[in-house]
Chains A and B, each alone.
Chain A
Amino acid sequence: MVSYLTKRLLAVIPIVLFAIFLMFMLIRLSPVDPAEAYLAAANIHPTEELLTEKRQEFGLDQSLIVQYFQTVKKIVQLDFGNSFVTNTPVWQEVAARMPATIQLAVSSMLLAIIVSVPLGFLSAVYKNSLIDHFSRLLSYLGASIPQFWLGYILIFFFAVKLDLFPVEGRGTWQHFVLPSVTLSLALIAIYTRLLRASVLEELEEVYVLYARTRGMKEKAIMVKHVLRIAIAPMLTGLGMNLGKLLTGTIIVEQVFSWPGFGRFFIEAIFNRDIPVIQSYVVLAACLFIVCNLIVDIVQMYLNPRISWKGRTEY
């Protein structure tokens, strides 16, 4: 297992380097001069002398190759530079906002699991029953409603009309409810259907029949065997989505005035705050890689048929 992990961790390096390269090229390809962006963000009228001074400071007068290696070097040292707008280190800005985003992502993920595991499982077991229809409707809604719109609708009914939750902000647990529901509905839609499908598939497997003939209790077969195996594809999805959630709470953070990383990123885009955009891309790449790795490890723990060596053994 140790060698497997080492191999996987080593594979992270070229992926991150490639992500940095992509990000570096995209920024250089955009028509905006980082020196101009800096002055614009600071509300300073860009005279030629100031622009030259800033270009030198940012190393923009050097060749692209040198600039790329310098970027990599800085990122490796976790130096993302200072935000053009606030003039404080990006790392500090990100660290200050990350907890809020993580809280929201985790609470949405938990809500999605709490709802979709029983719902998906029950709608497979009671196929075509009321609960199956309900889960289908919920999935349909979750897959088709745009998040920002859902956010507004929830605020309108549950905060403004019914006065059950605050409209925006962060502080108490009530503040979590509407944004978490907004974020998790799309996940619930996917996981419920995913789990339902894989439970139905597992029920056709020979081991289920064998267990029944052995006289095992139905409940035990379902929970100890079927659910445990059927849940694997859903876990993969969860892992992928955790990365997506951590980097994709942007719209929901905007709608609910959630003081997280996503909102900060939107402002950075509008202000052409290049160091922030840069750090976001690198961080997102790392998050996705780490989440994938965690999923793989959990998968192997849950399903012994997947071995550490990466091949399937029966």
Chain B
Amino acid sequence: MKVFQSKKAFLITFSMLISIFLVGCSNSEAGSSSSEETAESANSITLSWPRDIGPMNPHVYNPSQLITQSMIYEPLVSYGEGGELQPHLAESWTISEDGLEYTFKLRENVKFSDGTAFNAEIVKKNFDAVMKNASSHSWLGVINVLEKTEAVDDLTFKMILKEPYYPALQDLAVVRPVRFLGESGFPEDGDTSKGITAPVGTGPWVLEDYKKDEYATFTRNPEYWGESPKLEKVTIKIIPDAETRVLAFEKGELDLIYGEGAISMDSFNYLKETGEYQTDLSEPVGTRTLLLNSTNEKLADLNVRVALQHGFDKAAMVEGITLGLEEKADNILSTNFPYTDIEVKPVDYNVEKAAALLEEAGWKLPSGKTVREKDGQPLELEIMYDKTDPIQKAMSETLQAEWSAIGVKLNIKGEELTTQIERRKAGKFDVDFWYNYGAPYDPHSFINVVAKKGWGVSEAHTNLPMKAELDQQVQEALASTDETKRQQLYSSILTTLQEQSVFVPISYIKKTVVYQKDVKEFIFPANRDEQPFNEIEKSQ
């Protein structure tokens, strides 16, 4: 049977079909339009971010993103390299001898992007709005000890604490919730926890154009008090998928991919090896750590904990799994934080020593068995890891293999992140992954969770013989007004923790950046959460 009388009719239909299928392929407008977009303003950059930037409320958390909040809002004091605190919106400050009164001299001639003046009154108004919802911010130490605030005169702001708390200034350097919204951004009732009317800040950038889930464009703030950014425009495209980010970057739709885990380690190395782009790694921003739960009977023994540390080849594991993007860690806190530069004797990979320590602890290997036993109990532990984290998974598997060689059976259990956190808080784990907070939160936030219950870390240390003394030292360090004493306390706390081996440092986490050749040097911010893009330049 024939539907089409001639071959010609058939061919016409067939070619129409093909052309429909390949619809649009002949049109190259789309491609050129995106190239034009990049070339449109030589003095602008486009980067990607995995999530929408959110409503940019400076006093609440999700869904606003730290990176963009730091472009618009500024702190009184900022966190510089090595933890040095620098004047920002406060030109100078004095702290009373008892450590209770902080008086800030505000910078003159600072204006919000709407042209209104930045003064002590608006600083107080912001603090009041934050304190109205103090319970939401209880994680931040300064909020818990804040008694009241005062606008002494136009440019003098005072903060009075209930008790001395030395990291108060570090806490003021964080991105949220203690940065400043201009008057016109406040809702009528002044309660910013329910929303703001507009993101009005003193920072170098203003939000020019925004389409939820798609992009946000920032331009220079004409009222900015400091040196204006070198770029005219920063566009942030929302690309949730890491592989798509890499493809968009390769095509030239992005100038920059930046962040922690923004692209896979494979992709980073691939882009680096092409030689067509510039790549860089930051200083350590945090430590990937194993948390050994000392309330577990088996792990209550120091010898067992140290044996486990001797029992795996840390360097090989880190190199193999992170492809050189993380660095083997010997210290619990990397030494680029204040007070953390302590001498640590690295725990080497030594299977014999590990076995000897386990023997000493009474865990013997019965003949014909592969798992050590004591009083008929096998040396069996469980490690839990975040299911969605491929690095944690690979590391758990490596540990399982390595520890089996010293007669320890390790079961691995993937958990959803929320369950992992819940189990950690309830102390229902043997071995878990843990990370410190980074700058500007550490080292004070770190010692705080070592002493304060509710995060699972203090709980994991419960069985240490010197726990009470450790907690006491933490309290003293946080309240101390004497720099030398504080350093001594930190050294003592960190040394004890290192020796006790409840924390097993694995590797230092670093941020990665990949950028096109026409972007001049990229400088990583000292504050983990910030990136105001002030210093980036593009070659014309």
Contacts and interface: CB of A to CB of B under 8 A. Distances in A.
Interface of A: 31-32, 36-37, 40-45, 47, 49-50, 85-87, 96-97, 111, 114-115, 118-119, 122, 125-126, 131, 152, 155-156, 158-160, 162-170, 172-175, 177, 203, 218-219, 222, 254-257, 259, 263-264, 266-267, 270-272
Contact of A222 (B3, B214, B418): B3
Contact of B212 (A168, A259, A271): A259
A141 B244 CA distance: 22
**By CB atoms of chain B within 10 A, which of A168, A172, A267 has the most?**
A168
Contacts of A31: 419, 422
Given A168-B237, A257-B244, A97 B213 contact: yes
Interface string B1-44: 11100000010011001001101110111111111000000000
Contacts of A119: 17
Contacts of A263: 213, 240
Given A40-B421, A44-B136, A175 B30 contact: yes
B241 interface: yes
7 contacts: A42-B60, A44-B61, A44-B136, A44-B139, A126-B10, A165-B31, A259-B212
A165 B247 contact: no
A174 B24 contact: yes
Contacts of B138: 45, 47
The 8 closest A-B pairs by CB, nearest first: A174-B30, A43-B61, A259-B213, A163-B31, A167-B248, A45-B139, A257-B239, A160-B251
* Interface residues of A, dominant DSSP: helix
A147 to B, nearest CB: 13
Contact of B244 (A115, A155, A271): A155
A37 B418 contact: yes
B244 A86 contact: no
A115 B17 contact: yes
A86 B65 CA distance: 12
A136 to B, nearest CB: 15
A43 B136 CA distance: 8
B454 interface: yes
Given A167-B253, A168-B239, A32 B17 contact: no
A231 B535 CA distance: 63
Given A32-B422, A166-B30, A177-B25, 17 more contacts: A36-B422, A40-B418, A41-B62, A42-B61, A42-B62, A125-B1, A155-B247, A159-B247, A163-B28, A164-B27, A164-B31, A165-B31, A169-B237, A174-B29, A219-B3, A257-B240, A259-B211
A183 to B, nearest CB: 14
Given A96-B212, A177-B23, A164 B28 contact: yes
Contacts of B139: 44-45
B25 A163 contact: no
Contacts of A267: 51, 240
A108 B323 CA distance: 40
Given A152-B247, A163-B251, A256-B244, A122 B14 contact: yes
Contacts of B416: 32
Contacts of B54: 86
Contact of A32 (B61, B237, B419): B419
B539 interface: no
Contacts of B28: 163-164
B422 to A, nearest CB: 7
Given A115-B17, A163-B35, A168 B244 contact: yes
Contacts of A165: 24, 30-31
Interface in B202-249: 211-215, 237-241, 243-244, 247-248
Contacts of A264: 213
Contacts of B195: 87
Contacts of A255: 241, 243-244
**By CB atoms of chain B within 10 A, which of A43, A85, A267 has the most?**
A43
Contacts of B248: 167-168
Contacts of B14: 122, 131
B244 to A, nearest CB: 5
B30 A257 contact: no
A305 to B, nearest CB: 24
Contacts of B154: none
B250 interface: yes
B540 interface: no
B63 interface: yes
A167 B30 contact: no
A3 B344 CA distance: 83
A222 B345 CA distance: 85
Contacts of B377: none
B243 A152 contact: yes
A218 B2 contact: yes
Contacts of B422: 31-32, 36
Nearest to B416: A32
Contacts of B388: 270
Nearest to B193: A87
A115 B24 contact: no
A214 B240 CA distance: 62
A254 B98 CA distance: 55
Contacts of B25: 158, 164, 177
